[in-house]
A = this chain, B = another copy of it.
Amino acid sequence: MTGSIKYLLAENEIPTAWYNLAADLPFRPNPPLHPRTLEPLGPDDLATLFPPSLIEQEMTSRRFVDIPGEVLDVYRLWRPTPLVRARRLERALPTRARIYYKYEGVSPAGSHKPNTAVAQAHYNHRDGTRRLTTETGAGQWGSALALACSFFGLECTVYMVRISYEQKPYRKAFMRVHGADVTPSPSSRTACGRAILEDQPDSPGSLGIAISEAVEDAAGDPRACYSLGSVLNHVLLHQTVIGLETRRQLEMAGERPDAVVGCFGGGSNFAGLAFPLLSLDGTGPQVIAAEPAACPTLTRGVYAYDYGDAAGIAPVAHMFTLGHSFVPPRIHAGGLRYHGAAPLASALLHHGLISARAVGQLDAFAAASLFARTEGILPAPESAHAIQVVVELAREAEREKTEPCIVFGLSGHGHFDMGAYEAYLDGLLEDYQHPREEIERALAQLPQVAGGR
């Protein structure tokens, strides 16, 4: 039995700058709009929510942005992360494809999220913020921000999607140990939370609703800023440390990837891996976003201007969306339950530079279980969607008798998601496909922006 092979970088090979894909795009993504005026957003409009240095990063057209020493100091706790050739998985399938995974679950929060959480906490601390507010779905993002805030001495307020708050009490405890204040969303703390509870007292919540609450909270407190775990340009920027390391590790392995796969919720994990590996001239790998069939933003949504949150108080972005009023069903991959998608990734999809596939959760858990039994690592349910796409690609390669090199992002481990695994093992999970009308109904509520759709 030949084992899987790990490609490790030395600590001094952690990238010292993040890569900004926007600088290389052959087209200009449409700007975000003000939620009330629907006019293009200026830096001043963002100043109630974000500190100056992150607003600058959000807008920058520099190709590389230096990673501050204070951030590298924290990255070194778990970075560089391993790239692993999944030889046991290859044999189990079996396939002649060479499958590699970049493993971000070695971070103290168990996912890729601290890559940006630490950067955001640092810049906020430097710019004088005292408290950060945020939302969390599965709890990965909230855990990461709680951790990052404890490193930089910031207070942290987390609005946690109620369904996850109930299904994942241990995530809540994790955030509390790191000093965060965690509240289930929708909550009665904010006007938009109260409005939703009045309408639907047992609302399971959604990322969109939790974002509304966190934004409202931050906007009303001059000491506080808001922090988002995905979607925005600066968040994707920070995550590119993943793909930059991967590029070097693939060189060590003597590989040029034919396919790159990342699971997709808001897009930060996907972009972090894929952007540095992307060829904008069409000579590079096929790049595939793996999203849940139960929240099919990229495969069944539209490319249009929409609010980033449920209440319509967050900026309006040009992106793939299912409509900001879309509430995804209670699937377990909480981190993938977002109605929208990162504008940068959306633009790539719109221009045909990447593609997307939807994966049912039963297939995802089956692929994750196979991965756990062969590679030893129990994947986060989010990452499981990428694994299932890899399994599909490997089967396609067998049919076509090709031997591709496939790289995917194992964005986190599933140690906080064992309830979902247990439900899967006990046969209690099912797949969910939205009826066409349900999606059409949500899409009918998009804001009317000239030329936006």
CB within 8 Å of B: which A27-83 residues: 70, 72-74, 76-77
Q: Which residues of B contact A8 (CB under 8 A)?
A: 10-11
* Closest chain B residue, CB of each to CB of A147: B376
CB within 8 Å of B: which A405-425 residues: 415-416, 418-419, 421-422, 425
Q: Is A173 a contact partner of B418 (Cβ separation < 8 A)? A: yes
Contact of A6 with B by CB under 8 A: yes
Question: How does the 8 Å CB contact mask read for A353-392 relative to B, with 1 for contact and 0 for none?
Answer: 0000000000000000100111111100000000000000
A90 to chain B, nearest CB (A): 14
The stretch that binds B, out of A16-24, A174-182, A309-317, A327-335, is A174-182
**Number of chain A residues close to chain B: CB under 8 A:** 49
Q: A73-B2, A106-B106 are in contact. Are A422 and B378 (CB under 8 A)?
A: no
A301 to chain B, nearest CB (A): 32
Interface of chain A: mostly helix, strand, loop or mixed: helix
Contact of A200 with B by CB under 8 A: no
Q: Is B150 a contact partner of A373 (Cβ separation < 8 A)? A: yes
Question: How does the 8 Å CB contact mask read for A171-198 relative to B, with 1 for contact and 0 for none?
Answer: 1111011110000000000000000000
Q: Which residues of B contact A169 (CB under 8 A)?
A: 418-419, 422
Contact of A445 with B by CB under 8 A: no
Q: Which residues of A pack against B, CB within 8 Å?
A: 1-6, 8, 10-11, 70, 72-74, 76-77, 84, 88, 106, 108, 110, 147, 150-152, 169-174, 176-179, 369, 372-378, 415-416, 418-419, 421-422, 425
The contact sample of 9 A-B pairs, CB cut-off 8 A, is: A1-B73, A6-B11, A110-B415, A150-B372, A169-B418, A173-B422, A177-B373, A178-B372, A178-B373
